Amino acid sequence: MFSLENKIALISGGASGIGKAIAELFAKQGAIVHILDLNKELGEEVCKKIIEMGGMAKFHVGDVSQQEDVLRSINSIGPFSILVNSAGIAHIGKADTTSEEDFDRIYQVNVKGIYNCLFASLPILKKNPSSVILNIASITAIVGIPDRFAYSMSKGAVYGMTLSVAKDYLADHIRCNSISPARIHTPFVDGFIAKNYPGKEEEIFDKLSKTQPIGRMGTVEEVASLALFLCSEEAGFITGCDYPLDGGFIKLNN
């Protein structure tokens, strides 16, 4: 089950975090993986690791916020049938503490970046039967989270784009879904804690972990496992859905 043998997948933001875990798992399941990321060093390291493990991967350097970069990279791949939009950046701040520069930066990567990948990929995906698009959203698209104004805005847009694309391309047999993780343990989380709470890393990590009712943060591997299912043939009847991966945050955090 959940084989991606003979499938070609493009993963934006695949050089680190959730995108990296998805790229590695997809390759393990037989997919030929293409990674689109701005970080050339990390992206090439991921591809090297995949190849050393017997998989197939290729790195494409590019900024998802720049449509010319995205078009150039995607058009060089050739036919593919899986698109995972994982590239994204975070921001902390309220509406009156978020600068215009930061708001625009979040929009350019988290919203326009997905649009650019969709714009460049859909003409290719429409030529491949049973193509799949998976967007990485967030529980901030569904519930209010303190100090996440711009980030919540961007992930709400991701959720909306998921529904729109799922509806618009039914006749082309393209499925489109999204995953909305709660707090996932990534290098960003460790960096944020170290920067803002020096000397209190363990205390803050434990505090943040317990904001999920299940008592811990999720792992990137858990997100990748759900991504694998949603992009596999076993999920062929699923489209236009968002899947919270939240340790009970939305329904049980009373």
Tell me which residues are annotated as active site: 151
Residue 221 backbone phi and psi in degrees, to 5: -65, -35
- Sequence-distant (≥ 6) Cβ neighbours of residue 119 within 8 angstroms: 67, 70, 71
Residue 145: phi, psi to the nearest 5?
-120, 135
Residue recorded with tokens 């980030």: 151
Phi and psi at residue 241, to the nearest 5°: -120, 145
| Residue entry with tokens 């020096």 | 198
For residue 83, the SS3 value is strand
CB 230 within 8 A of CB 132: yes
Q: Identify which of 173, 102, 107, 142 has the alpha carbon closest to the alpha carbon of residue 243.
A: 142
Interior CA angle at 113 toward 91 and 30, to 5°? 105
